[in-house]
Amino acid sequence: MSEIRFPLPDVGEGLTEAEIVQWRVAPGERISLDQVFVEIETAKSLVELPSAFEGTVTELLVEEGRTVDVGTPILVIQTDAADGMSSPDGAPAPAEAPVAAPAAPAPSTSESPDAGGAVLVGHGSTGPSQSRRRRHPAPGGAHEHLAPPPAPPVVSAPAPSARPAAPASAPAEPVRPAERHDDGVPVIAKPPIRKLAKDLGVDLSRVAPTGPIGDITRDDVIREASQASVFRNIQTPELPADRETRIPVKGVRKAIAQTMVQSAYSAPHVSVFVDVDATRTMEYVKRLKASPDFAGVRVSPLLIMAKAMIWAARRNPTVNAQWTDDEIIVKHYVNLGVAAATPRGLIVPNVKEAQAMTMVELATALEQLTLTAREGKTQPAEMQGGTITITNIGVFGMDTGTPILNTGEVAIVALGTIRQKPWVVDGEVRPRFVTTIGGSFDHRVVDGDVASRFLADVASIIEEPALLLE
């Protein structure tokens, strides 16, 4: 047996600390290779950590809610590795050295607990059809292997009575006995799907499963909840007994505050607004939803707005730029940021190379971006390198606003709610779908005439989407 002290790993983008949000294991519990054992929150997102070892949890070194530095031991695991491991000089291996212990073979029909979720680099599963091999990290890495290779295992056939029967198939998460559908069938859902359902207020027992083993998928949950109800207050709670609630400024909230202050006080903002007849956009969205090419893809006015911004940025390239003290860098590609209000705060992931995408590809990318953000699975790399941003405040019933620029960008556009209003058409007042588009710009880069032309171009697409066919 060998005891391993598992350190908090660097999950990327140079982050130096993270908060322990929720332990998924307890002392005395058996843990398998690649099993998600803890949720951590960095300044960027919520991340699930998979185990690099197999064994028994003996101690949790950090309590939930505490923030620790990368490299701090957080978990002690008693592995199945043979005793007597030593360092090259013959001394016993350090207790905190993350030696990769060989994993016991798992049934080939079981599913990795973090399948389809966030995978920590170097710890992900390799696919259901591949056999797992011993890991050989590169010298000097965070998981340096200090022990010599163990002797080849002696294969022996155990007695039939000592071998537990393996199930034909295993769900991603043990079925909870109390959870059943109306027809009595047990509810099967992975942990990320359960968390998404909880965030959206969806009762899993009322969701029709479409997964390959009768499990509930992410799309099943999304179909059960409308986008507008994600952050809608369902009921008015009573005032707490305490006179005050103090919320620590850390994690995502701390990063949001620093970014907003930096943007607001370093870039001179200027804002412009325009009312738009979006009736043809609504008709176009309806046609796309009925098209076989968009089957299974979420289509909304946000898709048309995204295409309009890409088109308008090509006609007014300085809105897709970056200011430095020495030069203005105009980007000839569009990494389209979408401001997402998640339960953990505002984040701005972006769709890479959006200018090269077809309408279907862009719709799929926007849907994936939104779903990942809602689940808290957005990775730091997905929020880096944005060139221009859109914020859809219309889903909350807002007409317009003055958005703050995303740091490093010079333009952001807000799409307001689309509702029927009286509108003059050919001298007659008619009911039309009307929205308000507002934009904020860095006045060091974008002059008033460019800002106005850009927003007018966006409005022209919302009024007549057929212009995209030019």
- 209: Cα within 13 Å, side-chain hemisphere: 20
Q: Residue 288 corresponds to which amino acid? A: L
Contact 335, 353 (CB under 8 A): yes
The one catalytic residue among 123, 143, 269, 443? 443
Task: Tell me whether residue 443 is one of the annotated catalytic residues.
Answer: yes
**Phi, psi of 17, rounded to the nearest 5 degrees:** -150, 165
Q: What amino acid positions are annotated as catalytic residues?
A: 443
